[in-house]
Amino acid sequence: MCPVAAVEVATSGTTSRTTARDERRDQLAASALHTLGELGYARTSLREIATNSPFSHGVVHYYFEDKLELVVHSVRLYKARCVTRYDDVVEQSTSADALLAAFADRLVQTIRDEAPMHRLWYDLRTQSMFEPRLREAVTQIDQTLEQMIWRVVSRYAELAGRPMSMGPASAYGVLDGLFQQALLAFVSGRDTALADLADQVHALMPMMLGPASTA
């Protein structure tokens, strides 16, 4: 008898176990994000994460070898969900001005709603300078964020009928710098931080465009 059926059963069982394990790891990672966002990378331990979650320290340690593995998984999970944050802005905007207004509003909203997560991201990006195991994940996530921003600004240029005056890395670097400054101002309690960010984005985006074609 050909053992195809047995192989299918075994594979099915393995897939189920893998899926269940992955789901539990995702649950733990999602639970860890709150503590990481509040305390930062250096001040957070596996025990601290367990204390502030429905899971015991033993359970957390069973699914993750150490804090770094959990942190990497947590941030990958969060960023995978947020890299499409501006896609509806790109798809639904019918003019350059409409896209610019919607994009600036969304930037403001995400700082207002998710400041701890953004603060964690910048913390980890700095930590990756010193932690090789973290560096690979941060570099990959940074690339997806650059692509996310490029979808916005390249569509803005298309709607404006003008070419971009800079490439993806430069556009991302400039907007990310503004965003990080606004985040710092916001968590420091500056009342005008978010309004200032919106104004800066409105002023900056047109400067990213090259001259209109005379053809």
Summarised one tens digit per residue, pLDDT across range 79-113 is 777 778 899 999 999 999 999 999 999 999 999 99
How big is the CA angle at 188 (ends 89 and 170), to the nearest 5 degrees? 45
| Same domain, residue pair 43 and 27 | yes
100-133 per-residue burial string, b: 16 or more CB within 10 A, e: under 16: bbbbbeebbebbeebebbbbbbebbbebbeebee
CATH code of the domain containing 164 = 1.10.357
| Same domain, residue pair 67 and 128 | no
pLDDT averaged over every residue in the chain? 85
Q: State the pTM of this model.
A: 0.80
| Same domain, residue pair 153 and 182 | yes
Q: Which of 81, 102, 128 is the last residue of a domain?
A: 81
| Range name among 98-102, 135-139, 205-209 with the lowest pLDDT average | 135-139
Summarised one tens digit per residue, pLDDT across range 16-47 is 445 888 888 888 888 888 888 888 888 888 88
Cβ–Cβ < 8 Å for 167, 214? no
Cβ–Cβ < 8 Å for 166, 160? no
Number of domains in the chain: 2
Task: Answer whether residue 136 is part of any domain.
Answer: yes
